[in-house]
Structure 1
Amino acid sequence: MTWISLIGIALAVFALIATLAVRSGFRTEFVDTILGANAHVTYYSFTRLDEAGNSTNTIADYTARADALRAVPGVTHVAPVVRGQVLAGFGGRNAGVMVVGMAAADVAALPRIVDPETGIGDFARYGDGIAVGAGIARQLGLAVGDSLRLVSPDGARTPFGTSPRVGVYEVAYIFSAGRYDIDATRIYMPFTEAQAYFNRDGVADEIELLLDDPEALERVMPRLWQAAGPGGAFQTWQDRSGAFLRALEVEDNVMFVILSVLVLIATMNIVSGLIMLVKNKQADIGILRTIGLSEGSVMRVFFICGTSVGVIGTAAGVVLGCLFALNIDAIFALVNGVSGGGVWDPVIRGIYYLPAELRAGDVLTAVALSLALSCVVTIFPARRAARLNPVEALRDA
């Protein structure tokens, strides 16, 4: 029973630490891909009528507004942007993509986009071509130096209607942002070229902002509203992904409760083991009480027996959990190889691998929970042993 209790506690603590590590790693990776490949705050203009009576939401004075937003404390970078959905084609293959028109310096400010460790090609040639996501390159069979055809339905306006606009651009750089949905849909094009391609001469669709502390939006947003003035609004990264992050937090809390119950069930084995030990040692307890051992001393003996199982099991679980978190890549590769691949689908989960981040706070939480439950469940059988009547114990023996 002691070995069963010890192994049960070790496995429960291991499962709790492993789950907390994966939870922390997944949230960190997800937020990092959001902040590293997207704007922290986006400014856009309300829809209005232009001089010709057509509705538009472009920003004509984007240079002045960008300068005003750049002067706000906490803003580290401001970039005017042109966006448009087009059809990309190469070698008989086609894919719908989102083209983002940004200057080279503005794209370089996104650490997840311009990364020498994950990117292919020379980003210095971005002005002569375009930067393509790794998912698009894989889907279309692109390589650096290939010519990609882009077809936009919003092309030149003629008396017979709007004709599609076709452009051919050299692939100068292939990036991997770490998110499947970004790599499979996004292309970066020089800002001036995007203005000409999408008929946005002299205007921008949005203004993107990077902050020194993306988590402190409450401190910056009032100043941004004041600097932007009327006629537009802001969308933050939390607005775009807040629902998913809140759902992830709820799931984390539920998972922690479920695994805490698992630890409680494992520690309950200590109770059954100590009850059997007390029953088998009734005569010994009676003799010790007869020669003068106090109830408190008997209780301490059995309390130490129970808590020692909890301490050893918790220590073993911590070792297993830390080893799992530190070697999750090798373990995941082994599982993926044994199962024949396809265990982790980035199309569904968004990121390319199962992350794990070992935090001291998570380990201490698991240790504190396990030790506390081990101590609490040990009190009942220890008190029962201490209150055992020595006369009845010796008579039954």
Structure 2
Amino acid sequence: MKTAPFAPFEWMIAWRYLRARRAEGGVSTMTWISLIGVTLAVFALVATLAVRAGFRAEFVDTVLGTDAHVTVYSQLYVTETGQTTRALTDYAEMAERVSAVGGVLRAAPLVKGQVLANLRASNAGVEVFGITKPDLLEIPGIAGSSQSLGSLESFGTGPGQGIAIGSGVAREIAASVGDKIKLISPNGVRTAFGTSPRVNAYEVAYIFHSGRFLVDKTRVFLPFDEAQAYFNKEGVADEIQVMLAEPEAVDAAIPALLEAAGERALVWTWRDSAGAFLRALQMQDNALFILLAILVMIATMNIVSGLIMLVKNKGRDIGILRTVGLTEGAILRVFLIVGASIGVVGTALGVGIGVLFALNIESIYQVVDLVTGQQRQSLERDGYIFPPALLLWSDLARAVGLSLGLSFVVTIFPARRAARMNPVEALRYE
């Protein structure tokens, strides 16, 4: 007899098969195994994707919290005295033009140089960033460091100038707030007999902890005017640091920034500096997704096993249903509903548990700390990241689509086997 696809009686038969006990010819045990398998596989997929997304977001936030979103600098050119340089002589005007570009939060001139930091018998190679106090206060990873020591109020003030150093630098030379450290540059004072090293002493006003190991271990912030004098760069800057309202849209902002900066300008974005690591993360994410997709596929194979057993146990029922007029299509849809229902319910449970896991990741970290005796705080101080989980709709859609797709596909084979069963053979020995 002809019926509409997925008629109510088809759902009723499928439901009876799903909840049938083994004594009635059902395979409820296999149904539960299939359901649990799909649930755990989808949970693992959702949880892993959320943790990986959180790690990437944490890394990007750390990069954006300490470095410029875009660095504007100059092409090499020859000065009137015949020297080759990249120095920006019109840095104030360039910063003002760049600041006027839509989406730019601020543009800060910068002077950079590498020197030796010394305190008592300890030395460390550091990278000095010369920056104004208002611009330094706008760097969230530095000024907003929750584990910082001291204050930026005295940055660049008083005799000897207050400076900011990274926690790694402070640890390397055993410096604390209030200590006076020496910065030694080989390219120092110009005299009639050549250039002698420049040695200046500065008081440590602020020790920051940005969360980036290399930044904390090597970076020192010096007041902009003092850095110009220290590195013999009076009246010039090395580059312009640009902060954007939407760092993820940095590629779209480049043409306008280049136009505002001038014809000799070049740019270097945060994607360029962190691009290799981000690409490596993306490759790892793809590999993890493939491995977990295989896990989901294995879990959905349990649905096939359960349906094959169900078809075998329900051979008599299938024969009777066919003799009373059910078409092959109706039988096919009944078993499709059985297999798909397991996949849908397992997927929903797996996503639900995965979401709960992601939302309570901090509590889970604490439980792991309690069980294993590990102290995350000490590891985090050394630069290790324990990221929060981040739920992305795209990741949830991928997990749901993969699980449901595999559940529907693997159901087709046993459903077709049931639909093509010969009713005469099924009832021969009944």
**1:74 and 2:107 correspond:** no
Unaligned stretches of 5+ residues in structure 1: none
1:30 to 35, 42, 59: 59
User: Is the contact made by 1:307 and 1:375 (CA closer than 8 Å) also made in structure 2?
Assistant: yes
In structure 2, the residue corresponding to 1:94 is in which secondary structure? Answer: strand
Q: In structure 2, what is the Cα distance between the partners aligned to 1:298 and 1:91?
A: 86
User: Is the contact made by 1:130 and 1:169 (CA closer than 8 Å) also made in structure 2?
Assistant: yes
How is 1:200-211 mapped onto 2 (pairs within 5 angstroms)?
Answer: 200-211=233-244
Radius of gyration: which is bigger?
2
1:99 to 128, 145, 149: 128
Partner residue in 2 for 1:368: 401
Q: In structure 1, what is the Cα distance between the partners aligned to 2:361 and 2:217?
A: 26
Q: Deviations over 1:295-320 (max 9, x none)?
A: 44433332232222212322232133
User: Is the contact made by 1:181 and 1:347 (CA closer than 8 Å) also made in structure 2?
Assistant: no
**1:190 and 2:219 correspond:** no
Partner residue in 1 for 2:14: none
Q: In structure 2, what is the Cα distance between the partners aligned to 1:325 and 1:375?
A: 27
Q: Deviations over 1:153-180 (max 9, x none)?
A: 2222344543322222222222222322
Paired letter, 1:28:
A
Q: In structure 1, what is the Cα distance between the partners aligned to 2:96 and 2:417?
A: 76
Partner residue in 2 for 1:315: 348
TM-score normalised per structure 2:
0.82
Per-residue deviation at 1:293? Answer: 4.5
Q: Deviations over 1:44-68 (max 9, x none)?
A: 2233344544433222222222223
**1:387 and 2:420 correspond:** yes
Q: In structure 2, what is the Cα distance between the partners aligned to 1:256 and 1:83?
A: 42
Per-residue deviation at 1:271? Answer: 0.6
Over the matched positions of the two proteins, sequence identity in percent amounts to 56
Q: In structure 2, what is the Cα distance between the partners aligned to 1:139 and 1:212?
A: 35
1:226 to 233, 242, 259: 259
**Judging changes above 3 Å, is the alpha-carbon distance between structure 1 residues 72 and 305 closer, same or farther for their aligned structure 2 residues?**
closer
Per-residue deviation at 1:188? Answer: 1.1
**Judging changes above 3 Å, is the alpha-carbon distance between structure 1 residues 337 and 139 closer, same or farther for their aligned structure 2 residues?**
farther
In structure 2, the residue corresponding to 1:163 is in which secondary structure? Answer: strand
Paired letter, 2:122:
R
Q: In structure 1, what is the Cα distance between the partners aligned to 2:195 and 2:146?
A: 42
In structure 2, the residue corresponding to 1:100 is in which secondary structure? Answer: strand
Unaligned stretches of 5+ residues in structure 2: 1-29
How is 1:281-292 mapped onto 2 (pairs within 5 angstroms)?
Answer: 281-292=314-325
In structure 2, the residue corresponding to 1:202 is in which secondary structure? Answer: coil
Q: Deviations over 1:124-166 (max 9, x none)?
A: 2222311122232334343322323322222223445433222
Per-residue deviation at 1:328? Answer: 2.7
Paired letter, 1:362:
D
Length, aligned pairs only: 396
In structure 1, the residue corresponding to 2:428 is in which secondary structure? Answer: helix
Q: Deviations over 1:320-376 (max 9, x none)?
A: 32233223334345546656659997799x763234211233223312321222122
2:164 to 108, 112, 131: 131
Paired letter, 2:67:
N
Partner residue in 1 for 2:149: 120
User: Is the contact made by 1:328 and 1:356 (CA closer than 8 Å) also made in structure 2?
Assistant: yes
Partner residue in 2 for 1:324: 357
How is 1:1-397 mapped onto 2 (pairs within 5 angstroms)?
Answer: 1-90=30-119, 92-115=121-144, 117-128=146-157, 129-335=162-368, 341=374, 352-396=385-429
User: Is the contact made by 2:145 and 2:209 (CA closer than 8 Å) also made in structure 1?
Assistant: no
User: Is the contact made by 1:30 and 1:351 (CA closer than 8 Å) also made in structure 2?
Assistant: no
